[in-house]
Structure 1
């Protein structure tokens, strides 16, 4: 690796620390340095520098955000356990348990590299989450360590540079953003951009350098106009022209399909004032000076971002139609925006900044959510997938009926909201009201809405929710519940299937002796009755094959039928080729890993299934079936204006909902409308069709018998 600049000495570093640490604390930091220097004696970096320069630079990075002396000591020592065979006990004896725990925590994260297998990387990321739960400073040190490594990638092979940069962009940069450490996040992104796309980075840098010279006079004029207007209102202010960083420009060019010139045509300023009250007065003065663009104002002071960030954002139109982005905040808010949770350690001994404490609390709430997700996921890969979803989302802010604010990702649904309130609320939700009006559970939420969740003790998560939920907590909780439910239902279904098969072997399940079970388990290569039942229920084993251990000649015909009692079972699903509904004659096909797939008895796809008798189960509807079932109907109509709206209104009056609609024009005067609607059963469907048939434009309406083959 190459050096990042002049070599820092411990004496220069100690002098810098004197601006905010006590002399006794600085002495402890220096003692940790000398201990690490001795431990790393004879070790060198790729650049040829003594290895001790790295921990010293990491400590210097942490000092730039004014971290406490224990964090700086741990930064000095962060590689001694990993690289110098010094035990945690030795560090604790010299520097105390807190520093030893921090060093040990960082050491356990030392081998997180993208080139390892995905599973190993995922395991290591879980370690990072657990380390954050114990002490956030562990991850702050790790971020500082990674930042110095990114600054000194130097002459590493390009492929290795790209791998390290990719992982930094996927994991470390989003964590820095989530912890509110914006300055580090910006540098991570720019360093990664340089490592992954060196040519694009250098060209963009050259273009930026050129355009800055052309923009200087315009920036100065706007800044002067803002300062004069604020002075007229007797507002003490500091106005700073904000420069967009390279990766931000590159990302906007790609995501918004805009040219470099279009991105750079927007001028950005930050205004620092002395109080929250002055922030709002300043906003009024700016809107008085320039015309605001409607819909572009965001108040992150009243409702801070999830990482604690606070500021007023507005976009106004300057002279000659120039767009101007303005951020207005206090000095404390500005420091918090730069260093995030690190500000907690700067302010924690005083009452100067409650927002820093609030940011720290928000970070801890996020980490608590990570631990909840961890409890609901067995796979480390699934855990990382969920956390990445959580890291990369912008936020919306919605209200509970009592006025509490819930922070959620953009694109979130009422189901996500329910799980954010409590896992039990999510598991039992059946409906919602948005701003006191009934709404679908899948409807995307917008900031400022009031959400009320309606629950039922008899309700349970619906697998379809996974198609629209976006929060990591909701996804992991639903999957966890369904996995448990799947196991429970598969055991119950398998038991019923085996019981049905045993009728033909002159046995009853309840009267089976232990030796009979042993015969069946040996024959099916399963270890327990529960595993046996689950395998049969999931279609991995046939009940007919299982009982051959007791009665080799037994045939699986007749027996007790499978009862379908609701629409949302985990192991009983409904074939999309024929859309069976209560009242239809049905049969069940035992499909591997799906359980029972229910078809209409006259389904075109059933004939070839009937030859496989061990895969067919007699199935019937329970007397009281719960839930809504999908069915396809086709309506042939005269093509007239507003026919779709009229048809939808008529269907709505019957208590059904339209899940899908497709229109095919047969000719200039006739159209065929295919609809997928929800019904309670055949009687409900008949009533719907009767009402639709009375419409003057409707020529014919019928139920679709077969759509396509179900898989």
Structure 2
């Protein structure tokens, strides 16, 4: 276990003016608080926070971060409180430690939900101070290094969480070495056979390429030196999990990989980076499609470098990364190496203003935290983090970074949520294209929009980014809620009319406490969803109102009134018997109400109709003669009086179903189809089934304007010699 003076010495090597007293006090306080606690390995528990602090000294972080690392498990695993830490070490360190503390006694239904809430808490703390993430990643790295002491079932869960969340987080803030180690340990735990196989193949390749690597390094150094560039050459070997992931993603074999061994060329200035690139391309042949300029277009995690692949000595493919020393430091340590951070205690806003990686992280956290349930939050976080990237441009040249596999819908939401919600089409590189088109590096994307659109819920399964998925879910929920609010308002208005009262939103708002709802829309939504009866709303507004209770009659009998189940009754007229002024107008499936038509044959304008309210789903419209209505005889509160409200200026077709018996001979189907076409109807679906050897039965789903149009089609079909019988299906 590292001793007190050793920790101080490690910090003072890179931070000569470090606050020794702070480090000493944190060391002693944590050691006493953890006392005789043991880790799964049997080591003193205090050895863990010390190792976390040691990892962070390699990143050259400030002494407050080191102190927070030493104290990071105090609130969670000892009797220490935030107040105790704040009184001894100050507000900054107390906030860091609290941000690293898991939530206790979560009232959640699953471990997944608890994991999500703890992750949400961590990320919100990270948005305020990135040092929380640095300590958390160092904490996770040491836990992964000692994972073999943990029981196997828990070991797999921790490794999966690391691979899905913490390793990508490290990559997103540029800490690539840490990401690689986290991924490799997780890979070994989760896929031991694949890890062993890859290790053996890499060792075999390493032994064969040993001499060649020396030749390439010598040649590179000589060519740069001959042109006056004093470059440092570093060999790099691709990590096992990176190799495995690339093989899986590109469906290629180990032998087809060209970048297992690569070389970093470290030069003094940006100008020398491009000079070195020219020298290398003149000396060795460049492999087309393998050049990337991350200096002019840095990655989202602040990574900057030139990448190229050439055919080097003995026609061996060689990958080269050319960068300055400052770029190399950022590539190795990520945000911990950022100039603004190294200057001392900078604010989160200042760091976000100078670091793309941290600015991206804060924006992502803000989007993820917008009210989704825990499982959705976890899903969206994984979508945002665990992806490689493509870079696309708006028509004005704004760079948009997206995960690989993203489409134009993702692009639209990345630009702005309103653009995504209103998107109706796109142009990619000047050509019209579907919104689901997958994007490639360098694409210029223009999104076409129309005001008032609602994104289809099916988009949720097509997008690749958490932001787009979250926004689509939110827009869909809001659209459904608006529909239920509209339905609830109409139901309540009709209920007030039947009770002889004047509908007033002001009176409804005053009655909200009695209805146990916070807003008027909450009440209307509950009524529209069938979760609250309109009679209860009237009783809340007019407590002294005595409702007339009448004998319930079977639906459709014309008896006049229905009683509503419950202690207090509110009278409803028999559906179809009430005046049009008191009924709810129905236009169609695209109306602003949650309306659907009976599944067994639909309904068309001209039919006498009734609405059945299904809690949580809305209204189902049935023709009054539908036999399915018998099932609702004992639930009169679900019956709604509805009427057609067809807009003459916006005609639309409605679905109906016919069963047509035809003679089994050539041309029968053509004759039926010709009638449908001649009568200005449309066949939506058709099914054939054998009735007898001489007859076939066709089930036709057709779209018609109204009942008169449907009856005309039936009459015309019956005149055809091949038709034996035609019946309309009424479900």
Q: Which residue of 2 aligns with 1:700?
A: none
Over 3 Å counting, the alpha-carbon distance change for 1:586 and 1:476 in structure 2 is farther
User: 1:43: how far off?
Assistant: 2.6
In 1: Cα distance, 2:428 partner to 2:385 partner: 26
User: 1:65: how far off?
Assistant: 0.8
In 1: Cα distance, 2:608 partner to 2:403 partner: 45
User: 1:455: how far off?
Assistant: 4.4
The answer as to 2:585 corresponding to 1:562 is yes
User: Is there any run of 5+ residues in structure 1 with no aligned partner, and where?
Assistant: 1-6, 632-659, 663-678, 684-704
**Aligned to 1:277, which of 264, 271, 274?**
271
Structure 1 residues 137-536: aligned runs within 5 Å: 137-263=131-257, 266-318=260-312, 321-344=315-338, 348-349=342-343, 360-375=355-370, 377-497=371-491, 510=503, 533-535=524-526
Tell whether the 8 Å contact from 2:422 to 2:450 is kept in structure 1 after alignment: yes
In 2: Cα distance, 1:623 partner to 1:87 partner: 70
User: 1:433: how far off?
Assistant: 4.1
User: 1:408: how far off?
Assistant: 2.3
Q: Describe the SS at the equivalent of 2:402.
A: strand
In 2: Cα distance, 1:409 partner to 1:617 partner: 48
User: 1:61: how far off?
Assistant: 0.2
User: 1:572: how far off?
Assistant: 4.3
Tell whether the 8 Å contact from 2:266 to 2:328 is kept in structure 1 after alignment: yes
The answer as to 2:122 corresponding to 1:128 is yes
In 2: Cα distance, 1:327 partner to 1:281 partner: 13
Tell whether the 8 Å contact from 2:195 to 2:240 is kept in structure 1 after alignment: yes
Range moving further from structure 2, 363-372 or 177-186: 363-372
- Deviations 1:60-105, CA, capped at 9 Å, x for gaps: 1001011111101111111222223122223223222211221222
- Deviations 1:381-403, CA, capped at 9 Å, x for gaps: 11111111111122222333432
Q: Describe the SS at the equivalent of 1:411.
A: coil
Q: Describe the SS at the equivalent of 1:622.
A: coil
Q: Describe the SS at the equivalent of 1:242.
A: strand
Range moving further from structure 2, 487-496 or 260-269: 260-269
Q: Describe the SS at the equivalent of 1:138.
A: helix
User: 1:159: how far off?
Assistant: 1.7
- Deviations 1:138-184, CA, capped at 9 Å, x for gaps: 12111111111111123322222112111111111111111111111
User: 1:327: how far off?
Assistant: 1.7
Over 3 Å counting, the alpha-carbon distance change for 1:63 and 1:358 in structure 2 is farther
Q: Which residue of 1 aligns with 2:646?
A: 621
- Deviations 1:201-256, CA, capped at 9 Å, x for gaps: 34433443333112111222233332233223322212222211122223334444
- Deviations 1:404-425, CA, capped at 9 Å, x for gaps: 2222223334443333333334
In 2: Cα distance, 1:661 partner to 1:440 partner: 26
Q: Describe the SS at the equivalent of 1:621.
A: coil
In 1: Cα distance, 2:323 partner to 2:184 partner: 25
Tell whether the 8 Å contact from 1:432 to 1:440 is kept in structure 2 after alignment: yes
Over 3 Å counting, the alpha-carbon distance change for 1:44 and 1:254 in structure 2 is same
Tell whether the 8 Å contact from 1:373 to 1:477 is kept in structure 2 after alignment: no
- Deviations 1:411-464, CA, capped at 9 Å, x for gaps: 334443333333334344444444455444333333333344444543444434
Q: Which residue of 2 aligns with 1:537?
A: 528
Range moving further from structure 2, 194-203 or 578-587: 578-587
Q: Describe the SS at the equivalent of 2:587.
A: strand
Over 3 Å counting, the alpha-carbon distance change for 1:589 and 1:440 in structure 2 is farther
In 1: Cα distance, 2:655 partner to 2:403 partner: 30
In 2: Cα distance, 1:416 partner to 1:173 partner: 23
Structure 1 residues 605-684: aligned runs within 5 Å: 609=628, 614=639, 618-625=643-650
Q: Describe the SS at the equivalent of 1:43.
A: coil
In 2: Cα distance, 1:110 partner to 1:190 partner: 31
Q: Describe the SS at the equivalent of 2:392.
A: strand
In 2: Cα distance, 1:547 partner to 1:430 partner: 45
Tell whether the 8 Å contact from 1:429 to 1:455 is kept in structure 2 after alignment: yes
User: 1:509: how far off?
Assistant: 7.4
In 2: Cα distance, 1:418 partner to 1:456 partner: 13
Q: Which residue of 1 aligns with 2:723?
A: none
Tell whether the 8 Å contact from 2:258 to 2:319 is kept in structure 1 after alignment: no
Over 3 Å counting, the alpha-carbon distance change for 1:572 and 1:431 in structure 2 is farther
Q: Which residue of 2 aligns with 1:39?
A: 33
User: Is there any run of 5+ residues in structure 2 with no aligned partner, and where?
Assistant: 345-349, 535-554, 556-561, 633-638, 657-683, 687-702, 707-725
TM-score (norm 1): 0.75
Q: Which residue of 2 aligns with 1:698?
A: none
TM-score (norm 2): 0.73
Q: Describe the SS at the equivalent of 2:88.
A: helix
Tell whether the 8 Å contact from 1:430 to 1:456 is kept in structure 2 after alignment: yes
Q: Describe the SS at the equivalent of 1:444.
A: coil
User: 1:478: how far off?
Assistant: 2.6
Structure 1 residues 4-15: aligned runs within 5 Å: 7-15=1-9
In 2: Cα distance, 1:446 partner to 1:578 partner: 46
In 2: Cα distance, 1:585 partner to 1:311 partner: 72
Tell whether the 8 Å contact from 2:576 to 2:609 is kept in structure 1 after alignment: no
Q: Which residue of 2 aligns with 1:672?
A: none
Q: Which residue of 1 aligns with 2:659?
A: none
Tell whether the 8 Å contact from 2:141 to 2:178 is kept in structure 1 after alignment: yes
- Deviations 1:242-278, CA, capped at 9 Å, x for gaps: 2111222233344444444444785422222222222
Range moving further from structure 2, 284-293 or 317-326: 317-326
In 1: Cα distance, 2:616 partner to 2:585 partner: 17
- Deviations 1:269-299, CA, capped at 9 Å, x for gaps: 2222222222222222222233323222222
Q: Describe the SS at the equivalent of 1:488.
A: helix
In 2: Cα distance, 1:289 partner to 1:195 partner: 44
The answer as to 2:88 corresponding to 1:119 is no
Tell whether the 8 Å contact from 1:495 to 1:533 is kept in structure 2 after alignment: yes
- Deviations 1:558-609, CA, capped at 9 Å, x for gaps: 653534378485734689999999999999776664435689x89xxx9665
Q: Describe the SS at the equivalent of 2:469.
A: helix
Q: Which residue of 2 aligns with 1:693?
A: none
| Aligned length, in residue pairs | 623
Over 3 Å counting, the alpha-carbon distance change for 1:315 and 1:547 in structure 2 is farther
Larger radius of gyration: 2
